[in-house]
Chains A and B, each alone.
Chain A
Amino acid sequence: MTTDSPRFKPVLFPKQALLAKSFHWVNVVSLFIMLGSGLQIYNANPVFGGRQGIHLPPIFIGGWLAGGRDWHFGSMWIFSLNLLWYGVYILASRRWKHRFVGQPDLKALQVGKNPKRKAYSWHRIVYTAIVPVLLLAILSGIGMYKPAQFYWIVDLFGDWQALRIVHFMTVPIVVGFTIVHSLLALKVGGSRLLESMFW
């Protein structure tokens, strides 16, 4: 963001494209519903240990198994189509070229001296890395939702239990990501950057 006039040096407020903000919002809300309803489904038969396994406190979305499934298979459309359109958007707008982690970030981490630049590199690494995790959540989810039609997805993960574990592991990863991503954003751009992504 450079300004044409050399005489003014206004304070630069970070600004985000309206589309980027929309994708971010829809992603936050739909992913939250996916997590909440997913844990509701999880409680019907915990991934680790089955019925004797560790149940989570029943604070989740849907009230019971069928309700959780309704929410999960309703919001999956919003979540995955949002991600799909986001993919189209970053390709069409060529954001993929400069908005995600790249060689300069790795270089800054390896040989750079500027701690701010290094933090920014970490920020970019982290938010780039969540994209394949979300795609993996969708792939493993399709495998569990339609294992007869997409039997090759189950085979890809090995067996049913492996598929369940991979799908479930996206929950702690997303929760951890949300914390680290927020902290890094704060570190890199302060509350101004954080707010620019939402409003």
Chain B
Amino acid sequence: MQSFNRRQFLQMAGLSSTLLLSGCGSDLFAGVVGQVTEPLNQRLDELLLNPQKPVPEMPISSIEPDKLIVNTFDFTPVIDPKLYRLTIDGEVNNPMQLGVKELYKLPLTSVVMRHVCVEGWAAIVQWGGVRLRDLIQLAQPKETVRYVYFQSADGYYESWDLRSCLHPQTLMAYQKNGEPLPIENGAPLRLAAPIKLGYKHSKWVTRIMLTSNLLPQRGYWEDRGYEWFAGL
């Protein structure tokens, strides 16, 4: 009983210091609420996700080009496609670097999906690109791999569960609405999937790293309080 209490106390102490670092007092309570309920909600997210089952697609006529708002946490990096390299590494047998030309040679998949932002708005968008699972297969992940990290040219970072990455509609996209991907939407390569909230969809991705464990840093917004799984 005593050790349980001490353990609980230490957890609370660690929790409250992170919360103090994160800022204002009203966060504090919300942080505790999130710590209590988010594990349950994440279990629900995981249960709902079937990594084999595609989300029904929308017709091309339903695309809403002007509804997709550009959200960026810092600045917009301009990348020369000729110099661009995507690194895939971490716990893989075949780490690799791919240029734009090599990415374009891989099978192209198109998805017309609803892009849902954590803020509440949504837009129907067509994304075209390489299935993330094809890239992961090329890199030959070790059996212990459970998580995938994404690093972006602007310093944004994200982590996903492997199951969501293997979903057939999870793309590393280089097309938007039938056109080459615009810079402000993440050119030359960005994440896009109908199964997760918008902030999970890193733009300007330069590195994909496969890991067995979640690292202390889980994502730019997640480290500031957003849900990690963020399944739709």
* Chain A residues packing against B (C-beta within 8 Å): 41-42, 44-45, 47, 50-51, 61-71, 73-74, 77, 144, 146-149, 151, 154, 160, 164
Contact = CB atoms under 8 A, between A and B. Distances in A.
B30 interface: yes
A32 B60 CA distance: 41
A148 B232 contact: yes
Nearest to A73: B41
A160 B31 contact: no
Closest 6 CB pairs of A and B: A67-B30, A63-B26, A70-B34, A74-B37, A66-B225, A45-B119
Nearest to B196: A148
Interface string B33-71: 110111011000000110000011000000000000100
A64 B119 CA distance: 11
A149 B195 CA distance: 8
A18 to B, nearest CB: 27
Contact of A44 (B37, B49, B120, B225): B120
A146 B30 contact: no
Nearest to A41: B120
Contact of A71 (B30, B120, B121, B195): B30
B195 A147 contact: no
10 contacts: A42-B120, A61-B30, A66-B30, A66-B225, A70-B31, A70-B225, A71-B30, A73-B38, A73-B41, A154-B114
Nearest to A33: B33
Nearest to A66: B225
B30 A68 contact: yes
Contacts, number: 90
Given A45-B120, A47-B120, A148-B55, A67 B114 contact: no
A17 B221 CA distance: 47
A74 B24 CA distance: 20
B95 interface: no
A148 B164 CA distance: 13
Contacts of B119: 44-45, 65
A63 B30 contact: yes
B227 interface: yes
B77 interface: no
B197 to A, nearest CB: 10
Given A74-B33, A148-B195, A45 B117 contact: yes
A147 B34 contact: no
